[in-house]
A and B are shown apart, each in its own frame.
Chain A
């Protein structure tokens, strides 16, 4: 398996623009997670899905953030409108419960 695949790897955008981050989990994994990593706050869980259903989105910082998982092999994290404080690395991760958590390479977002 190719592992968790994220795109884009880097995104530079201007404040107010819409940003969409994409993730393909490992096949057969029924849990998908979106994390955000910053120097100040470390890794923060934003939202997780089980069998494509959002279970806990309490970590989503604001209504500007939304996430979807239309099928078992694809998820998106959208920020609209983006702000400079959203600049961070966004990671997608997946696992089959119980089991190892696997991360993608991350999407580095810079909002100017």
Chain B
């Protein structure tokens, strides 16, 4: 059974710091891995999608990597800003419809 773990559960950092969020999964047979952010009271916003054949994706200050063999993905946020404060979730896509979500990392960037 696929399990997805995110560590740490919560993180508080000063503005400007570079940071890494971790996502681990137990079964390497995946379609894609997707990172989302969720602001309080809002839906999940897609940040990056990494297909199983890819190693990383970049969008602005965000970079996500994928290592299927070790069952790990990291989301790197450069020069963090207070507006980055949110909960970040990773989701592993196992098949056409099956997404398994991590429990998220709650990030707070202090001004």
Interface residues of A (CB under 8 A from B): 4, 31, 33, 42-43, 45, 48, 50, 55-56, 91, 93, 97-106, 108
Closest residue of chain B to A4 (Cβ to Cβ) is: B43
Residues of B within 8 A of A106 (CB): 42-43
Q: Is B63 an interface residue (CB 8 A)?
A: no
A42-B101 contact given A99-B49, A101-B34, CB 8 Å threshold: yes
A-B contacts at CB below 8 angstroms, number:
46
Report A-chain residues with C-beta under 8 Å of the C-beta of B19: none
In contact, A91 and B44 (Cβ under 8 angstroms): yes
Residues on B with C-beta less than 8 A from A43 are 89, 101
Binding site for A on B (CB under 8 A): 31-32, 34, 36, 41-46, 49, 51, 89, 91, 93, 96-99, 101, 103-104
- Of B36, B41, B43, B89, the most chain A CB neighbours within 10 A belong to B43
Q: Name A31's contact: one of B36, B43, B91, B97 (CB within 8 Å).
A: B97
User: Are the CB atoms of A91 and B32 closer together than 8 Å?
Assistant: no
Please name all residues of chain B whose beta carbon is closer than 8 Å to the beta carbon of A91 when the two chains form the complex: 43-44
For B96, list chain A residues within 8 Å (CB): 31, 50, 97
Q: Which residue of B lies closest to A56 (CB)?
A: B97
| Complex: A45 Cα to B96 Cα, angstroms | 14
CB distance from B6 to the nearest CB of A (A): 11
A residues near B34, Cβ cutoff 8 Å: 100-101
In the assembled complex, the CB of A67 is this many whole angstroms from the nearest CB of chain B, namely 14
20 residue pairs of the A-B complex, CB under 8 angstroms, read A42-B101, A42-B104, A43-B89, A45-B99, A50-B96, A91-B44, A93-B44, A97-B96, A98-B32, A98-B51, A98-B93, A99-B49, A101-B46, A101-B91, A101-B93, A103-B43, A103-B44, A103-B45, A104-B43, A106-B43
